[in-house]
Amino acid sequence: MYQILVVEDESHLREFIGLYYKAEGYHVTEACDGDEALEIFKSHNFDLVVLDIMMPKVNGYEVCKNIRSTSNVPIIILTAITTEESELKCYEIGADDYITKPLKGKTLIAKSKRMLERYQTNDSFSYENMTLEFNSRLLKINNEIVDLAPKEYELLYHMILNKNIALSRESLLDAIWGYTFYGQTRVVDNHIKKIRKKLGEYAHLIQTVSKVGYRFQM
């Protein structure tokens, strides 16, 4: 049974979200503010965190950054703020997805299922002395753990699942960050650069496809 932490200061919305998850058979733990959320998170293991931004005591941005400093658990941000700057900030602090209010329950569940399936697989990918463990989200090269930021892991994982296929920058942006704003493809390029550096001797596996994007080639 998946364990879901729902952090929302509006009680009726918190209950609404909880009912949708419970209908799917998930176990839901609720927190009404940022302080309570962080205390609960320290003593429990969760498969997904659903987090409101505007809350008393500690806001959602700070909660997200705090959780992300110690865990790669999937985080979905809920917010009434619909500006592009707000959306980008959510991704910059480590959130995996972003949903605006008024909340659509079926959309939240669909996004949650996709994310949970992506994170809970028990498979791994190996090539020579490099291994990417999907369940633990660990990259190991020559038996040494290589630290990957959440989006770096997601990008590498997505490319491995689609190995030997040329992927456009736009498709990568949409798959990993969930948006296709014009001019934001530099985000993909910057993350690819960082991943290649961390792959070291295996950097050549990520090939640049001229006028298209990138390909994980084996």
Nearest to 194 by CA among 148, 138, 163: 148
Q: What is the pLDDT of residue 34?
A: 92
The strand order across the sheet containing 167-168 reads 167-168, 213-216, 206-209
**34 plus 105 within the same structural domain:** yes
**14 plus 76 within the same structural domain:** yes
Whichever domain contains 142, its CATH number is: 1.10.10.10
Whichever domain contains 41, its CATH number is: 3.40.50.2300
**155 plus 177 within the same structural domain:** yes
**133 plus 113 within the same structural domain:** no
Q: What is the mean pLDDT of the chain?
A: 88
Of 119, 135, 157, which residue sits at a domain end?
119
**99 plus 172 within the same structural domain:** no
Model confidence over 132-158: pLDDT tens digits? 988 778 899 998 999 999 899 989 988
Q: Distances in Å between the alpha carbon of 48 and those of 67, 78, 179, 208?
A: 11, 13, 21, 33
Model confidence over 12-69: pLDDT tens digits? 999 999 999 999 989 999 999 999 999 999 888 888 999 999 988 899 999 999 998 8
Check whether 181 has a pLDDT greater than 70: no
> Number of structural domains, the chain?
2
172 is in which domain, residue-wise? 122-216
Model confidence over 83-115: pLDDT tens digits? 778 778 888 888 888 888 888 899 999 989 888
**7 plus 108 within the same structural domain:** yes
**13 plus 114 within the same structural domain:** yes
**7 plus 19 within the same structural domain:** yes
Bridge partners (DSSP) of residue 133 are: 124, 138
**127 plus 175 within the same structural domain:** yes
**34 plus 77 within the same structural domain:** yes
Of 94, 119, 144, which residue sits at a domain end?
119
pTM for the whole thing?
0.58
